[in-house]
Amino acid sequence: SSELTQDPAVSVALGQTVRITCQGDSLRNYYASWYQQKPGQAPVLVIYGKNNRPSGIPDRFSGSSSGNTASLTITGAQAEDEADYYCNSRDSSADHPRVFGGGTKLTVL
Amino acid sequence: EVQLVESGGGLVQPGGSLRLSCAASGFTFSSYEMNWVRQAPGKGLEWVSYISSSGSTIYYADSVKGRFTISRDNAKNSLYLLMNSLRAEDTGVYYCAREGSGGYCSGGRCTHYWYFDLWGRGTLVTVSS
């Protein structure tokens, strides 16, 4: 089965740019989607497809992909961006069509 | 309002059963694939199960296969998860999530993608004696 690997924690200074990465074999064939989750709240979709943002998501959030790595970039991080971020994609196994990365805790300093 | 509302969680003993429901409103439920996703306390998100819009295609994570059953009633705009033989490790918040999909084609090659664009607030399941 496939796995998606994320760094457990990343920090960024207020107003600076941060990249959160997600690695996995399935990302060579499928785009990832990205979710933001704040404590006690349900996840929120922030990026999907090649680089699409749902309505209401600030344009400081962007996505990219290269080889087996998908990236979520926050350009000009704000205090309210402090949260857990999860990537998700299709598993290479036909019996397990969806898989999440382990999540990255983003701290805005 | 477009929303998903889960219900049915609670405290259950190991080996017991529970049925979760997810009520959809504000969109054409029958047109969407749906999933259950769970989150153990202090842990990350774990995909649990998928059901196609008609209910004809179903998948499960290995951790729940043979114990959980996903189903839907499009006439009632509802999604369900029947959980049997519950274990302590099944404890967590269970979310239902609406799925979207698409593809990006360039140079004769298409790359597909899936995403969960609408989530409920979740329902807490606690398996403990």
Q: What is the pLDDT of residues B80-96, one digit of tens each?
A: 999 999 999 999 999 99
Assess whether pLDDT exceeds 90 at residue A90.
Answer: no
A30 to chain B, any CB pair closer than 8 A? The answer is: yes
Which chain B residues touch A66 with a CB distance below 8 Å?
none
- The CA distance from B13 to B127, in Å, is 5
Give A44-74 as a DSSP string. EEEEBTTTB--TT--TTEEEEEETTEEEEEE
- The CA distance from B97 to B117, in Å, is 7
Using pLDDT thresholds of 50, 70 and 90, give the confidence band for residue B110.
Answer: confident
Phi, psi of A81 (to 5 degrees): -85, -10
pLDDT of the residue at A92: 72
Tokens of A23: 């690695």
Tokens of B38: 């769970």
- The CA distance from A71 to B107, in Å, is 22
- The CA distance from B114 to A88, in Å, is 8
Which chain A residues touch B41 with a CB distance below 8 Å?
none
Phi, psi of B26 (to 5 degrees): 85, 0
Phi, psi of A59 (to 5 degrees): -75, 0
Instruction: State how far Cα B109 lies from the chain centre.
Output: 31
B122 to chain A, any CB pair closer than 8 A? The answer is: yes
- The CA distance from B8 to B20, in Å, is 5
pLDDT of the residue at A94: 65
pLDDT of the residue at B108: 86
Using pLDDT thresholds of 50, 70 and 90, give the confidence band for residue A100.
Answer: very high
Which residue, among B40, B61, B57, B47, has the nearest Cα to B96 in the 3D structure?
B47
Using the beta-carbon criterion (under 8 Å), do A50 and B104 form an inter-chain contact? yes
Mutate to test the interface with A, among B110, B114, B121 (most CBs of A within 10 A): B114
